[in-house]
Structure 1
Amino acid sequence: MKLIILSSFWLVLYSFWFTGCKGGKWYGKWFPYPPGAEVTSPVDKKPGYKGRVPMGIKNSNCDDGKTNLTVDWDKSADSYLCFYENLKDYMPDLYVQPILQCDHIPRGYMPEHYCMHTSIVYRDDVPTFGGHRPLWPRYGEYQYLPPQRWLHSLEHGAIVMLYHPCADPQEINKLKGIVTNCLYRHIITPYNKLQSQRPFALVTWGCKLMMSKVDHKIAKEFIMTSALQGPEKVSTDGQFDYALLRHAKILTDENDSTICPEI
């Protein structure tokens, strides 16, 4: 994993940290689980591509986009509303630099598709890869969309824009404008697990850019270099649309042949 601090004009490498072998023993992280670890969310053994539950097929016994949705989201308004007393903690700060963080994903890694009777819990507050639901969401802006859905969009190469509900409204609209004018394959949703220091995040497969204040140049560069890099080159719109507010508009074509054509 690497951590990069970004300024308005330069991408500056801030620090690296590595864990590895010491005395012949491995002290770093295991992927996806340590040897012998008990997996609490077993893989569904159903017919599918390379043993996975098939994606994009509505099935009331697995995932139809309507049943058991509270497994991922209890539909609480806390997910998308801000309490007034918390507003001051999420104000943009010019002195807090953006951070780019990327995870090393082994080649050949294929995330599992889990049916709705299985709970999916991620180790990171803002995951960039992992198992998810078989039905991926339609592209666009949501009142709220849980990570169990938008991680599937990342796998297809989409950009996911996350913002804390208490983030500055002008900054939210600024970042929305960048994302919606860069590519069709995007998801926009509030996300209350973002830290107050950096209440904005752009997420792609394996990488996330976190910001206190939206920097147009850095956000655009991240999108242009990181979008459409998912392991599955699927541009087809999804089937899940619960709490969808606005469907994404096609800019160039469904494949986003030109990224950020209007900005």
Structure 2
Amino acid sequence: MFFFTSIIAFTVFGTLTVSSVLEPEWKGKVFPDPNPIEGNSIDGKYEKDHHGRIPMGVKNAKCDWGQDPEGFDGDLGPQSYTCLNDRSLYLPNPKMFPILKKDHIPKAFVPWHRCMNESIIYNQIIPTFGDHRPLWPKYGEYSFLPKQRWVHSLEHGSIVMLYHPCADHNEVNVLKTILKRCLYQYVITALNELEPEHPLVLVAWGVRLEISKVEPDIVLDFIRRHAFKAPEKVNRDGQYEENLIEAASTDLQGKEDNICPGY
């Protein structure tokens, strides 16, 4: 089974260039789950949800206890959010146009909640959908947050902001400010796998915007078009908070019909 990624490049003339790239076969994304977990959530086993999955948002020492073993879903240490490269390679470049990439997700696709005894490997550096951990992160800004956590946020309609640790501080702060003024359901984290040409990325369910320099109109358009466009409409806060720097303000909580009111 294959899926397509549509790539839309914004040009200086305001036109769009669209091409499709054939991606390799899915890995770790199955429906239905061949190995569903049985039982109930009280004794360390689980009752299934209506999709046959283990339930989300249930802390349990035998599945997901809200913490990551060192190095399991990614290194949570300073090397994950510290610039170790030449900063000049990541400077904003006005000639490097923003790129919008869309993944085709079959309507029948259901992501599975995987316990901490299972590895989750994505076949893209920036996944826009897929299996994830049962506990999703609290909304806000993190020094580093594993993909296996924020992909769950995408399923709930959140916007995830990624930035390379070497990205220009001013550009990072401008993008953070816009996102924080737009909605409550956001997650911000460093990701040292991003390319120098596009060290800033916004991600929503099935789509991502890769940029070098923040263009507010393009950023606002992306957020307004793609926030809350996901399979699950869940606006309550998450349970995971390792490396949380600042929780999202609750001023915009429950105001999904008024995105980016400050702009």
Give yes or no for TM over 0.5: yes
The equivalent of 1:79 in structure 2 is 80
1:226-250 alpha-carbon deviations (Å, 9 max, x no partner): 1101100000100001110100012
Task: Give distance in 2, aligned partners of 1:18 and 1:158.
Answer: 26
Pairwise CA distance, 1:48 = 1.6
Are residues 1:45 and 2:49 paired? no
Equivalent positions of 1:63-212 (< 5 A) are 63-66=64-67, 68=69, 70-83=71-84, 85-212=85-212
Pairwise CA distance, 1:180 = 0.2
Pairwise CA distance, 1:77 = 1.7
Q: What is the identity percentage for the equivalent residue pairs of Structure 1 and Structure 2?
A: 43
Cα-Cα RMSD: 2.1
The equivalent of 1:17 in structure 2 is 20
Is this contact kept in 2: 1:143–1:189, CA < 8 A? yes
Are residues 1:6 and 2:6 paired? no
Are residues 1:227 and 2:227 paired? yes
Which runs of no fewer than 5 residues in structure 2 stay unpaired?
Answer: 39-46
The equivalent of 1:245 in structure 2 is 245
Task: Give distance in 1, aligned partners of 2:171 and 2:9.
Answer: 20
Pairwise CA distance, 1:126 = 0.4
Pairwise CA distance, 1:255 = 4.4
Task: Give distance in 1, aligned partners of 2:175 and 2:126.
Answer: 18
Which runs of no fewer than 5 residues in structure 1 stay unpaired?
Answer: 20-27, 36-40
Of 121-130 and 65-74, the range deviating more from structure 2: 65-74
State the SS of the aligned residue for 2:100: strand
Is this contact kept in 1: 2:200–2:212, CA < 8 A? yes
How many pairs were matched up? 248
The equivalent of 2:41 in structure 1 is none
State the SS of the aligned residue for 1:251: helix
Is this contact kept in 2: 1:44–1:115, CA < 8 A? no
State the SS of the aligned residue for 1:70: coil
Task: Give distance in 2, aligned partners of 1:195 and 1:80.
Answer: 15
Is this contact kept in 2: 1:183–1:250, CA < 8 A? no
Is this contact kept in 1: 2:28–2:120, CA < 8 A? no
Pairwise CA distance, 1:75 = 2.4
Pairwise CA distance, 1:71 = 1.1
Is this contact kept in 2: 1:157–1:227, CA < 8 A? yes
Question: Which residue identity is paired with 2:19?
Answer: F
Question: Which residue identity is paired with 1:259?
Answer: I
Of 253-262 and 154-163, the range deviating more from structure 2: 253-262
1:91-121 alpha-carbon deviations (Å, 9 max, x no partner): 1101000000000000021101000011111
Pairwise CA distance, 1:192 = 0.7
Pairwise CA distance, 1:16 = 1.8
1:172-223 alpha-carbon deviations (Å, 9 max, x no partner): 0000011000000000000111100000000000000000111110000000
Task: Give distance in 2, aligned partners of 1:100 and 1:67.
Answer: 31
State the SS of the aligned residue for 1:153: helix
Question: Which residue identity is paired with 2:200?
Answer: F
When residues 67 and 128 of structure 1 are mapped into structure 2, their CA distance, relative to the original with a 3 A threshold, is closer
The equivalent of 1:24 in structure 2 is none
Pairwise CA distance, 1:66 = 2.5
Pairwise CA distance, 1:14 = 1.1
State the SS of the aligned residue for 1:127: coil
Task: Give distance in 2, aligned partners of 1:178 and 1:9.
Answer: 24
TM-score w.r.t. length of structure 2: 0.88
TM-score w.r.t. length of structure 1: 0.88
Is this contact kept in 2: 1:6–1:98, CA < 8 A? yes
Pairwise CA distance, 1:150 = 0.2
